Structure 1
C-alpha cells in the first residue's frame, strides 16, 4: 500500500507509550493509514523511517527527538 499524501507530523511534549519492537520508551507514534497505531523508540523510528512515512497517516514525534524521516 502506498499513500498519496505525506503524513501529518506533529511534535508533542512527551510520549508515554513503549516501543512495539523492543519495549524502550517511545519517541515516535504513527497512526497507520490502514488503521491502528504503532510506537517506536528512537533507534527503531530511525531504522524504519521510510516505511513509517509510507504507511503513516499521522505521526507524533516527542519534542527534542531528531527523527531521520523529518
Structure 2
C-alpha cells in the first residue's frame, strides 16, 4: 500500500456505508471505496494490507477558519 497525493475529495463524494460526505478514499485493484471519517477510521485498518492507495482528508474536519476582524 502506498499513500500518494491524488485528486481531492469533493462534497459530492459520499460514504459507501451511510451516504455522508466522504473524507476517506480507499483504492483497491478492483475499484474505489469511499467512507465518511467515522467509517474510514473503523474500516481503513482492515483494508490497509490490500489497498493500492488510501487518501484520508479527515483532518479537514478539524480545520478552523480565522475569525472575522471587526
TM-score normalised by the shorter chain: which range applies?
0.5 to 0.7
Matched, 1:42 2:37: yes
Q: Extract unaligned runs of 5+ from structure 1.
A: 1-6
Higher RCO structure, 1 or 2 (CA under 8 Å, sep 6+): 1
Choose the corresponding residue for 1:8, options 2, 5, 9: 2
Choose between structure 1 and 2: higher helix proportion.
2
Tell me the matched-pair count.
59
Q: Extract unaligned runs of 5+ from structure 2.
A: 62-70
Structure 1, residues 7-59: CA drift from partner, whole Å, max 9, x if none?
Answer: 111356841210000000111101103x1000010110111122121221111
User: Match for residue 20 of structure 1?
Assistant: 16
2 CA distance for matches of 1:46 and 1:37? 16
What RMSD, in angstroms, separates the aligned Cα atoms of the two structures? Answer: 2.4
Matched, 1:64 2:59: yes
Runs of 4+ in 1 over 3 A off after TM superposition: 10-14
